[in-house]
């Protein structure tokens, strides 16, 4: 248990540059308190004390503003930053190292008693206010922009933004342990722009060669006539 608590605290240090010390994290992070309420409520739920599970989950919501259904499945190193307004539905499944910001909903779009909430694989980051609605999978290392509404599966390492969510980046990145928003790990936009220019120059050269060949052939045909 203490190993888990230490891991939870380290997850906050890793992902919130504003975190200053352990006491601050233990007392001032509602996302962490919500996770601890969830762990207790999930234990009751999985041991078939359904009312106790729901009631503890409800207390967690009352104290933190984060509503996590006790039936949801959550992996290790989960972090909810700021907390308020997060809703995680009963059949949601969350892998390891996942980060949610405030106002995120992992919701369903049917009233049938089936798997109706999303599955988030490892290292996913969901921006503040985003809604992920339906029983599909958000792939490893994917990022969802703030206030997006995502209603379809998201491939590994993709970045999806907007309403409805559209993919703005789909590069096959190596799984680096955790996705985060640290400046040092952001792509270099100038290098990217120069690489694009080189690609375009190569493409223009290729087209020029084709045109030059066709032109020479045409000239030869006219001369032969
Ligand atoms: C989605 C996100 C992770 C993308 O970050 P990134 O990989 O650095 O990508 P970029 O910022 O280069 O954005 C890529 C494109 O998506 C657009 N975009 C980014 N976030 C967007 C959003 N939330 N809604 C709409 N468009 C968005 C950018 O304008 C850019 O478009 P362009 O290529 O036409 O210029 C980031 O924008 C985000 O929303 N992070 C969540 C942060 C958060 O919730 N913080 C709360 C702290 S309290």
pLDDT tens, residue by residue, 143-173: 999 999 999 999 999 999 999 999 998 765 5
Is the CB of 15 inside a 6 Å radius of any atom of ligand 1?
A: no
Band (1; pLDDT cuts 50, 70, 90): confident
128 CA: nearest ligand 1 atom: 44
Domain ranges of the chain: 2-181, 187-225
Top CATH class of 2-181 equals mainly beta
Is the CB of 143 inside a 6 Å radius of any atom of ligand 1?
A: yes
Give the distance (Å) from ligand 1 centre to CA of residue 194: 21
Handedness of CA 135, 140, 142, 146 (dihedral sign): positive
Is the CB of 38 inside a 6 Å radius of any atom of ligand 1?
A: no
Give the distance (Å) from ligand 1 centre to CA of residue 146: 7
Give the distance (Å) from ligand 1 centre to CA of residue 82: 19
What is the rounded average pLDDT of the residues 198-208? 84
**pLDDT, averaged across the chain:** 90
Give the separation between CA 94 and CA 125, rounded to whole angstroms.
Answer: 11
Is the CB of 186 inside a 6 Å radius of any atom of ligand 1?
A: yes
Closest by CA to 85, choosing from 31, 141, 13, is: 31
For 2-34, the pLDDT digits (tens) are: 788 899 999 999 999 999 999 999 999 999 999
pTM: 0.77
């Amino acid at each position: 248990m203490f190993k888990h608590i230490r891991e939870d605290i380290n997850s906050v240090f890793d992902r919130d540059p504003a975190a200053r010390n352990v006491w601050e994290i233990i007392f001032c992070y509602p996302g962490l308190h919500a996770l601890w309420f969830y762990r207790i409520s999930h234990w009751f739920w999985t041991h078939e004390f359904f009312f106790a599970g729901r009631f503890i989950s409800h207390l967690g919501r009352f104290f933190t503003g984060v509503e996590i259904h006790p039936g949801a499945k959550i992996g290790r190193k989960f972090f909810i930053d700021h907390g308020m307004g997060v809703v995680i539905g009963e059949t949601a499944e969350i892998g390891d190292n996942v980060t949610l910001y405030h106002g995120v909903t992992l919701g369903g779009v049917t009233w049938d008693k089936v798997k109706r909430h999303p599955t988030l694989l490892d290292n996913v980051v969901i921006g503040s206010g985003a809604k992920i609605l339906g029983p599909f999978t958000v792939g490893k290392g994917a990022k969802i922009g703030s206030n997006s509404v995502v209603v379809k599966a998201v491939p590994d390492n993709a970045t999806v933004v907007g309403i409805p969510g559209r993919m703005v980046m789909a590069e096959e990145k190596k799984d680096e342990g955790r996705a985060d928003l640290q400046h040092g790990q952001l792509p270099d936009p100038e290098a990217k722009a120069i690489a694009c220019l080189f690609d375009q120059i190569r493409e223009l050269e290729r087209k020029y060669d084709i045109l030059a060949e066709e032109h020479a052939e045409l000239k030869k045909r006219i001369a032969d006539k």
